[in-house]
A and B are shown apart, each in its own frame.
Chain A
């Protein structure tokens, strides 16, 4: 029962968040930057989730925040999956010096914790949401590339790869026609859990202030802004905190379910 119920709840939450983010302009009672109520008014009444210290509607900021947080995480994961996936696949296929160099570089990069690597890149690029996306995307590449490489190497043990290469197929053809489709069952759950990591990374970096602009309605920024009036207006911390946590947990639960489905 639990095995199905939890992923279903998770999927429902993800659908809710996604719809909220996509339809934010028509769902939100007002603009996310517009101050339309008295500051720090509690949830209920005309402001369903209350207002922040500038009187901005928190429901509007949360809905628009989904666009920032989810969009940024999706962009960062896409970068990781594309760059890391092709690097890992190339290392497995080409072997030799390329593979040796790849393995060494990956082990060196993994010596720097991913989040710190991302912070270092933001230091170079200068604070801002695009820099945070790029940094989190690149920060995940070493780990993702290494996993892709090991999957691809496992698959290359299979007979059809030997058959294709003995028929004269080039490594590009083998990668696209054989390795990629056959590794998708493993790579998709991996990319799903990676999205959770990216969301965690993005909201962490924006929470500590690296988005630069404190007025954007991104979830990590909202959570940070709530600290100033934590005891007088706890709802300001509760909503973004719940949004981040539930989304991360749901993505994890769904990723596990996907992995189970592939396994059975």
Chain B
């Protein structure tokens, strides 16, 4: 007999499928909005090219035709979507290179910065949150929440420039090519961005811990004679992890806009610098490609976080 999946098992997949479908619709709408926002707010990109002397009046008409700007908006939109389905995002107005190739060339640098910052943010958030909840009214117990509060309200531009200044002053007398200095220079952008992103994690961990440290199961562990540190790390910390995990999706969006600033502060190559250059030059296919990618990435990570929550917590599964 062929094993038939149980009805309940199939039913559990329905909310997940619905969430994925919702995500797809949101992504499509976001891409449409980026398209519309640019086409409606932008004047004639060719005119701005002309003004900057990047093209000649004789070439302008041909360029408009090439870009499809002489076609009606609906036709431009369907053309854009059709290209998108084949992985094509149009060509840069300046270099004529395919946008997807330009983006792909800058993507690794930004991904590296983003992942390193996320790792630092999670570790730092765990540390600050645990210290904040554990140490109570002692000096570290008060400093930790203050540090995580500052992390969320201080602008990355300021902390970045300040970190660059302090680092520069600290290594001023260090010999050239000192491996420690080189390491510091590469790690600094991720530390700055990671610190800025650590605030929400720290707060989620701290409030989760403060709740669960008073919970009956922790009291029970204490009654069984479980050591204080083990109680904290194993019993109390575990239930506060899922909310922190779902924060990662929100952080991903923050990190993406944070990389724009961080890359400018530290003069690092990457998607953020590319976006700024595209905006300043009026190279809208590139700007549209990067913002669209960011929206896709954000929607995707939110869907993933919700699916993880569905998988981890049976209560949510039943409720939806």
Which A positions have Cβ atoms within 8 angstroms of B? 104, 107-109, 111-113, 115-117, 119-127, 196, 200, 203-204, 207-210, 212, 220, 223-224, 226-227, 230-231, 234, 237-238, 241, 244-245, 248-249, 252
Contacts and interface: CB of A to CB of B under 8 A. Distances in A.
14 contacts: A108-B33, A111-B295, A112-B295, A115-B257, A116-B294, A119-B276, A123-B291, A124-B37, A124-B39, A124-B40, A126-B282, A127-B280, A204-B155, A245-B154
Most chain B CB within a 10 A radius of its CB, from A120, A220, A224: A120
A207 B275 CA distance: 14
Instruction: Using C-beta atoms within 8 Å of the partner chain, give the interface range for chain B.
Output: 35 or more
Contacts of B195: none
Contact of B38 (A109, A112, A124, A223): A124
Contacts of A245: 154-155, 158
Contacts, number: 143
A112 B164 contact: no
Given A109-B33, A245-B155, 9 more contacts: A111-B26, A111-B29, A112-B33, A120-B288, A123-B42, A126-B42, A207-B261, A210-B280, A224-B264
A255 to B, nearest CB: 11
A237 B302 CA distance: 37
Interface string B154-184: 1111100110110011001000000000000
Given A209-B280, A231-B169, A111 B155 contact: no
Closest 8 CB pairs of A and B: A124-B41, A123-B287, A115-B257, A124-B42, A108-B29, A241-B158, A123-B279, A207-B157
A204 B27 CA distance: 26
A156 B299 CA distance: 32
Contact of B294 (A113, A224, A237, A248): A113
Interface in B87-145: none
Interface of B: 26-27, 29-30, 33-34, 37-43, 48, 150, 153-158, 161-162, 164-165, 168-169, 172, 253-254, 256-257, 260-261, 264-265, 272, 275-276, 278-280, 282, 284, 287-288, 291, 294-295, 298-299, 302
Given A123-B287, A209-B276, A113 B257 contact: yes
Most chain A CB within a 10 A radius of its CB, from B42, B161, B278, B284: B161
Nearest to B254: A113
A244 B298 CA distance: 28
Given A116-B256, A123-B287, A248 B155 contact: yes
A117 B36 CA distance: 12
Contacts of B29: 104, 108, 111
Nearest to B38: A124
Contacts of B302: 111
Contacts of A123: 38, 42, 278-279, 282, 284, 287-288, 291
Contact of A119 (B26, B161, B162, B291): B291
A252 B153 contact: yes
Nearest to A248: B153
Contacts of A204: 155-157, 261
Contact of B172 (A120, A226, A231, A244): A231
B195 to A, nearest CB: 14
